[in-house]
């Protein structure tokens, strides 16, 4: 079993980050920080399939596992990134059991799923399909992104869907679905988040959260709340926040 798959199954703490800048240098720099995995964001970035093929290889080559947050829960989108060699997918806007079952089916080959068979990097360019087919059954990671109040209301069904390894909260979209985009400190949004924590803790699945802020104190807060699958900020916040902070200090000191 892959290291991330095993850690998720054991509900162990695992920390990764988010990639929106399609360059191997960014992967190498983030890899030097000690992240265990990186999620390539195809939903809210200019990253395309050609970039994914390149970035997955660099992530894995730097000792991390490569996840892809796909643009949508759709067969061709998911099978393309899996064929590119991704270790798994984070699927946005999973709202119910049917959505979760569909996501799993697009990752898994028949008879478990309905993924079409193609030969690409994941299958060692046609020389390792049988090995990869077995890997897909045992190691491929499928994470349901919980970012709508409807998903919170259907969370038990989503979490208990066979093939779902865990959930990750998208706080911005969750608050937006309640009419308050970005206001995830509101009491009603907090209540929705608390329900996600409560339901997931009762299951045998990992509980994830994307901590947007680039300061580790925000990550520690989520760890104390019981989150174990944590995405720590993203590339442009790590870059921009540090640059802005240091320039602000310099200007104040001049």
pTM for the model: 0.95
From CA 40, how far away is CA 53, in angstroms rounded? Answer: 11
In this prediction, residue 217 carries a pLDDT of: 97
On the question of pLDDT at 60 being above 60, the answer is yes
In this prediction, residue 204 carries a pLDDT of: 87
Look up the CATH superfamily of 3-253. Answer: Phosphoenolpyruvate-binding domains (3.20.20.60)
On the question of pLDDT at 171 being above 90, the answer is no
In this prediction, residue 134 carries a pLDDT of: 96
Q: What is the DSSP string of 74-133?
A: -HHHHHHHHHTT-SEEEES---SHHHHHHHHHHHSPTTT--PPP--SGGGGGGT-HHHHH
From CA 117, how far away is CA 211, in angstroms rounded? Answer: 36
In this prediction, residue 182 carries a pLDDT of: 85
In this prediction, residue 228 carries a pLDDT of: 97
From CA 159, how far away is CA 41, in angstroms rounded? Answer: 23
Left (φ > 0), alpha (ψ -120 to 50) or beta: where does 124 sit?
Answer: left
Name, in order, each residue with C-beta under 8 angstroms of 184's C-beta and a sequence gap of 6 or more.
Answer: 171, 172, 174, 175, 190, 193
- What counts of helices (H) and strands (E) characterise the chain? 12, 8
On the question of pLDDT at 1 being above 70, the answer is no
Q: Which residues are designated catalytic?
A: 44
Whether 208 contacts 36, CB under 8 Å: no
Would you list the domain boundaries of the chain?
3-253
pLDDT tens-digit map of 185-233: 899 999 999 999 999 999 989 999 999 999 999 999 999 999 999 999 9
Name, in order, each residue with C-beta under 8 angstroms of 88's C-beta and a sequence gap of 6 or more.
Answer: 4, 5, 65, 67, 68, 107, 140, 141, 142, 143, 165
pLDDT tens-digit map of 77-130: 999 999 999 999 999 999 999 999 999 999 999 999 999 999 999 999 999 999
In this prediction, residue 94 carries a pLDDT of: 98
From CA 90, how far away is CA 235, in angstroms rounded? Answer: 18
Give CA 119 to chain center in angstroms: 24
Give the least confident one: 11-15, 87-91, 179-183: 179-183
In this prediction, residue 109 carries a pLDDT of: 97
- The per-residue pLDDT of the chain, averaged, comes to 96
């Amino acid at each position: 079993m892959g290291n991330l798959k095993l850690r998720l199954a054991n509900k162990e703490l695992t920390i990764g980050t988010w990639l929106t800048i399609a360059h191997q240098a960014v992967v190498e720099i983030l890899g030097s920080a000690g992240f265990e995995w990186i999620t390539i964001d195809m939903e809210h970035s200019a990253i395309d399939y050609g970039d994914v093929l390149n970035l997955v290889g660099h992530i894995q080559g730097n000792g991390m596992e490569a996840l892809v947050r796909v643009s949508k829960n759709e067969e061709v989108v998911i099978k393309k990134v899996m064929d590119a060699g991704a270790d798994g997918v984070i699927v946005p806007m999973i709202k119910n059991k049917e959505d979760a079952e569909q996501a799993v089916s697009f990752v898994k080959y028949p008879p478990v799923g309905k993924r079409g068979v193609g030969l690409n990097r994941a299958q060692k360019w046609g020389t390792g399909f049988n090995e990869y087919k077995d890997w897909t059954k045992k190691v491929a990671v499928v994470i349901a992104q919980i970012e709508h109040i409807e998903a919170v209301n259907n969370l038990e069904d989503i979490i208990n869907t066979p093939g779902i390894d865990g959930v990750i909260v998208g706080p911005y979209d969750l608050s937006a679905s309640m009419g308050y985009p970005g206001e995830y400190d509101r009491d009603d949004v907090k209540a929705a988040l608390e329900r996600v924590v409560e339901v997931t803790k009762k299951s045998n699945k990992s509980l994830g959260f994307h901590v947007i802020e680039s300061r580790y104190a925000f990550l520690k807060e989520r760890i104390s709340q019981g989150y174990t699958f944590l995405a720590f900020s993203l590339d442009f916040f790590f870059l921009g926040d540090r640059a802005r902070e240091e320039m602000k200090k310099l200007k104040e000191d001049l």
